[in-house]
Amino acid sequence: MKLKNLTKSLFAVAMGSLVLTGCGDCCKKKCTEEKVEITDAQVERYGITNKEYLSAATKRALKWPEYGNEWFIRFTQEELKGDLAYEEGVVRRDPSALIQVNGKYYVWYSKSVGPTDGFDADIETSKVFPWDRCDIWYATSEDGITWKEEGMAVGRGEKGAYDDRSVFTVEIMQWDSMYYLCYQTVKSPYVERVKNQVGLAWASSPDGPWTKSEEPILSPADNGIWIEGKISRFAVEKKGDFDSHKVHDPCIIPFKGKFYLYYKGERMGEEMYFGGREIRHGVAIADNPKGPYVKSPYNPISNSGHEICVWKYNDGIAALITTDGPERNTIQWSPDGINFEIMSHIPSAPHAIGLNRTLEGNDDPTGQLRWGLTHEYVTDEYQCLRRFTSKRKERHGNFADFGH
Ligand code: AAL
């Protein structure tokens, strides 16, 4: 069976083909055991000793979809050369996906200079995070390793504009001979409780010039309530929706005749959640690339994750879920861009992946992750871009594959 068809049928399996029989006699005594009907093939696949005695682990295993190893990968990283090699005093981070135009790879990223002061310094002059006081820059490369920085693509807005403080964490979409950059925006002053929005810019060439949307295309939900008189983002009377504080890491994918804007939500009064931050993902959908984008009533569509990394596969959308929440370090897939199921667990993933859209359309579920860009915290203050590669995990002896 072709891999793509296999994925679809396995998804159907995952959605619930497990047959539960009635309790019969056991209900007359004590209904604590559900009787599970299993096939000889399942006995063989899961190495079950005696099908009359199923442990909790085996019962969970019987609910797993029966896919193979095709979604399981591991990553390695290397330094970049040329202008994107690490530069002291400069922040380059959160790379976009890679596209290729006239034989050259293009990437966009957040760039700022100078140290980070945090929230205690003078708010008028300080830089509160490495991604504060950023502009969006871009670079090109023939081979994806040696890069030439071409200059600024989209700068911060004029004083008073919604994007006057920082524009950062950008993604690229190519559609109908046009190029679209979507990115995070912050308006001054950058205080702890500042809301973050999403902006959009478009151009007929990847080299610009870029026209910016006059208003943000996405904003946080407006239904949380801060405790007055405090400055902390944790002090809330009401948290509001999962995205009541910030909408982050936007990425637009043309899908099923519409435009799906995936994003990370941060919540007012954010708590720790399953050993990570309380981070969830949402999607907003539009008929046109410029919007209006309407948040899906199914949000949140992931209760884990961090930076958005999504790609089209097999008439559906795949997502790399990293960093936070109980489903971190998984790859998921959804037939409709909304209802995602876990397809694999991975050891860990590089930060803020900019995947490789030039590899779209192949038959490999993780093909667009074969190589691309990521960022590395060289110090807390300065980050640089790096290259990642990934391999399917198909054999024993995995360490040898990566020269360990
Ligand atoms: C990243 C992203 C967003 C955040 C910051 C810069 O990991 O989630 O971009 O705002 O950190």
Residue 130 CA, ligand 1 centroid: distance in Å: 10
Q: How far apart are CA 153 and CA 137, in angstroms?
A: 5
Out of 113-127, 210-224, 332-346, pick the least confident. 113-127
Q: Whose alpha carbon is nearest atom 9 of ligand 1? A: 169
Residue with tokens 């993604």: 171
Neighbours of 150 (CB within 10 A): 18
pLDDT exceeds cutoff 70 at 223: yes
- CA angle 365-98-133, nearest 5°? 125
Average pLDDT over residues 11-16: 40
Instruction: Copy the structure tokens of residue 41.
Output: 């093939």
Residue 356 CA, ligand 1 centroid: distance in Å: 20
pLDDT band at 33 (very low <50, low <70, confident <90, very high): low
Query: Measured from the CB, is residue 131 less than 6 Å from ligand 1?
Result: yes
Average pLDDT over residues 195-204: 98
Neighbours of 274 (CB within 10 A): 13
Please tell me whether the peptide bond between 95 and the residue prior to it is cis, using omega within 30 degrees of 0. Answer: no
Q: What per-residue confidence (pLDDT) applies to 267?
A: 98
Q: What percent of the chain has pLDDT over 70?
A: 90
Give the bridge partners for 200, in sequence order.
Answer: 182
pLDDT band at 11 (very low <50, low <70, confident <90, very high): very low
Query: Measured from the CB, is residue 307 less than 6 Å from ligand 1?
Result: yes
| Residue ranges of domains in the chain | 2-62, 73-392
Q: How far apart are CA 87 and CA 382, in angstroms?
A: 8
Q: What is the Cβ-side half-sphere exposure of residue 189, based on CA atoms within 13 angstroms?
A: 10
Q: What per-residue confidence (pLDDT) applies to 36?
A: 79
Report whether 403 contacts 391 (CB < 8 A). Answer: no
pTM (two decimals)? 0.91
- CA–CA distances in Å: residue 144 to residues 97, 372, 373: 12, 8, 9
Nearest to 172 by CA among 253, 230, 279: 253
- CA–CA distances in Å: residue 87 to residues 90, 114, 150, 354, 378: 6, 11, 16, 20, 10
Specify whether the backbone of 46 is left (phi greater than 0), alpha (psi in -120 to 50) or beta: alpha
Residue 372 CA, ligand 1 centroid: distance in Å: 18
pLDDT exceeds cutoff 60 at 400: no
- CA angle 29-31-36, nearest 5°? 120
| Residue 209 identity (one-letter amino acid) | P
pLDDT exceeds cutoff 90 at 175: yes
Atom of ligand 1 nearest to the CA of 94: 9
| Fold exhibited by the domain 73-392 | Tachylectin-2; Chain A (2.115.10)
Residue 307 CA, ligand 1 centroid: distance in Å: 7
Indicate the SS3 state at residue 367. helix
Q: How far apart are CA 390 and CA 308, in angstroms?
A: 18
pLDDT exceeds cutoff 90 at 37: no
Average pLDDT along the chain: 91
Atom of ligand 1 nearest to the CA of 351: 7
